[in-house]
Structure 1
Amino acid sequence: MAGQQAFWIDGRSDRERARDGVSHYSERVWENLGEFEGVWGDIAPVAFACAAWRIATPPLSSPGLVRRHRRILSASCERNGWDGSLTARVALVSPLPAALTISRDWWRDRGWRGWPEIFSQFVEPAEQDLAKVPHLRPTLLVDAPVPLEDLPATPDGPARDLAETAHRALTVLVRELNDLLAPIVTHLEQDLR
């Protein structure tokens, strides 16, 4: 089986949703300049890349320019307070841990359910379902450093090429996060078969 992508940039949808026919993400960058407040001229590219990521992903942009595999519930980029590096925080849908699959003694005929799926997407259970049966929805939380080497430098201000620079930052983040998470996603998907 070929490897799964954890994230990808949806350029076609970006162009189709653009008022100018070029890039909806570029429009979103200019509409959300406040996300870059306090970032301009920073010696490190971290805060700029994190702002570019926020603008490209839900909830600021839905659907986002950056799309994610169905197992990824959330993904954020944050500046590490200890050394200023970039940390990715990603929550993924997981199967039950082995310790709970060995024995079902804990199950006790309560009708436990896992992650509901609608059109192959993992979703939160409806309130009416939560009122009837218990749900156990395992997740994996990944906190990992992201290399900075290829990130573009932070602009000194909102220059004409701001959206292009933000897009370059996204391209690097998507590549690095795929390198980190795609093997995990692929393994989780193979576990279902």
Structure 2
Amino acid sequence: TRPSDIVTMLNGQTVEIGNTDAEGRVILADALTYGVGRNPAYMIDIATLTGAAMVALGDRYSAVFSNDKRLKDLLVDAGAEMDDPIWELPLHKDHKEKMKSQVADLRNADAGTSYLAGASKGAAFLSYFIKDAKGKDAKWAHIDIGGTAYTNDPRKYEQKGATGSGVRVLLRFLEGL
């Protein structure tokens, strides 16, 4: 895609490409649409979606955004247990508003202020793709591992390089269901 292209998503919404470097969220959005069609009890995605998560939380905490307090709490608790900490960042209606476009339904990056609350706005974009066929939001959480997926300062059980961030969290979460 090129800047200003408009693409039609799996759920029929149109997206203006405002930033070609924010392509991962466009792909992930269609995966969420596909997943919500399977009527999951919970829907969790993990992605190195933004560098803004690393700016906000450093390289030891992943960011979590969720529309379901219980799901968020279970993930945060699992992260604490597994020494793979997660911190909730805001997912506010203002962040969602910033993702609306004048020429399409949405933009993949907001116009002019994408450097402000970038991790929240990335999650806000994704939140438009979690509605089922009846228009009800799935119980959803997005974990942004932009700062934790790779390390040059490994913990005692890690090596330099890829960390597997989020894997231990998901395993503990699933064990608790």
TM-score by structure 2 length? 0.28
Larger radius of gyration: 1
